[in-house]
Amino acid sequence: MTSDLVPFELQAVSIAVLAAFLLWVLRLVRTQRLSLRDSLVWVVTTLVATLVALFPGILVRAAHLVGFQIASNAVFGAAILYLAVNVLANTVAGSQNAARIRRLAQECAALRAELDIARASPRDGGGAAPGEAGRGPMP
């Protein structure tokens, strides 16, 4: 677990912080404040970060494989790419939710208009409609 690349204390703190973060994400899922689908991104990236914290040589090899001379530059590049993808995914989800809300509002308005028309129209025969005998006025 120890490496010449990262001091043991830094590795231990990193792993502890990542474990606490993972537990927090799982708690949010359990209390239904975060959906299971959305939590997968956080769980996977936390596990990858934990793997890199345990074995920092993986990061050095991956950085050189991609063409970075310094591993920290690869970390910053990956972080910027991750944030850009996350913002794009949230923007797409927000757009989809806005379209759903607009459609629901339109359906609600149409149903309310139908209900107002139904309440305003006189009933056949002056009595209660079938199935409404004994019921009070509609709210």
pLDDT, tens digit, for every residue of 67-86?
Answer: 999 999 999 999 999 999 99
Number of domains making up the chain: 2
Residue 73: CB atoms within 10 Å: 13
Sequence-distant (6+) residues with CB within 8 A of 5 are 56, 57, 60, 71
Residues 86, 108: one domain?
yes
Positions of the chain with pLDDT under 50: 127, 131, 133-136
Residues 102, 77: one domain?
yes
Q: Full-prediction pTM beyond 0.85?
A: no
Residues 76, 48: one domain?
no
Q: What's the rounded Cα separation, in Å, for the pair 45 and 122?
A: 63
Q: What's the rounded Cα separation, in Å, for the pair 69 and 60?
A: 9
Residues 50, 9: one domain?
yes
Instruction: Measure the N-to-C terminal CA separation of the chain; round to a whole number of Å.
Output: 69
